[in-house]
Amino acid sequence: MNAPQLIIVALSGGVDSALAALLLKEAGHRVEALFMRNWEDDEQGYCTAAQDLQDAQRVASHLRIPLHRIDFVQQYRDEVFEDFLRRYRAGQTPNPDVLCNRFIKFGACLEYARRLGATQFATGHYARIGRHDGNHRLCKGRDAGKDQSYFLHAIDPAVLGQVLFPLGKLTKDEVRQRAHAAALPVFDKPDSTGICFIGERPFQAFLAQYLPPVPGPIETPTGEQVGTHQGLMYYTLGQRQGLHIGGRRDANEEPWYVAGKDHARNALIAVQGHDHPLLFSSSLETEAVHWLVPPTAQRFECTVKTRYRQPDQACTVILRDGVVQVHFTTPQRAVTPGQYAVFYDGEVCLGGAVISRNSL
């Protein structure tokens, strides 16, 4: 009798991947785990890789499955972190999780799992793999508040048939409950937040290690200076905190928000009021699009997310030389260059692209 095929689970040390491994083992699969380290940091207390490894080891021991370890530190710096810095240097606000999924988790890590003999690769993402006309499709997870298809839209569609998302049909509450019932050692471990390599440290302090401050004026749309910023790369559209614009006799008491960046003059544009018209965009343009489901028309209607956890927004997509123009049915707030526009047809993720510019 042939040995059962091997499934390798990317075990991060958190509750989601731990339960994914448990569910696969309970289903009778031959399961092994793989812990990958993507970052090294000399500052103690911020990088959680050591603790995450210990937690992964405890989970693997509890489940009685082998745990493999691999470092992708150099690949991560080359493929993810350098792009992160390049975009911040250009005044954009990037999302490194997308490239991490594309090049590291479902690139280098998946390839390493294959070398270990795996026929399938599983993670604890909240997403699903569907089938349509014989093709695999990336679909939203059942838990709308945790769905992670937004972060997965850039992976190679050719690998979808080798990928498993055991949590795709579960809610986060169900995951916690099942992990507790199974006495998984990390059942109550808090979810990680923010960008993985920054951890809980102040973001501006981290970024300043690589991109030193370049102070300049904070101005109103009419050109009046109302404050001083420390560098355009430290701010994102729609941001309220950290502007340090004090009370002004000639202004109302509404809070200030970042509405734009004038790179030529190193000026940050700020407006008052959460719903100021300059915070809204009627359209956007993208860089080259990564399609999971190639479009069959040059113009079509679908929905789009311009940030994680945003409700789907109706739009019209127009293809032009590999990039797209997106026209919103309803103007959208804080559409931010460097973030991703991710397209959907109902539950199916069609693909996405980096936002290059927005338009009022």
Catalytic residues: 100, 196
DSSP string for 17-42: HHHHHHHHHHTT-EEEEEEEE----S
Classify 63 as helix, strand or coil: helix
Measured between alpha carbons, how far is 280 from 257 in angstroms, rounded to an integer? 12
Note whether 43 and 206 are within 8 A (CB).
no
Cβ pair 76, 38 in contact under 8 A: yes
The tally of CA atoms less than 13 A away on the side-chain side of residue 82 is 8
Distance separating alpha carbons of residues 335 and 326, to the nearest angstrom: 11
Longest distance between any two alpha carbons in the chain, whole Å:
83
Provide the pairing of β-strand 290-291 with 348-359.
antiparallel
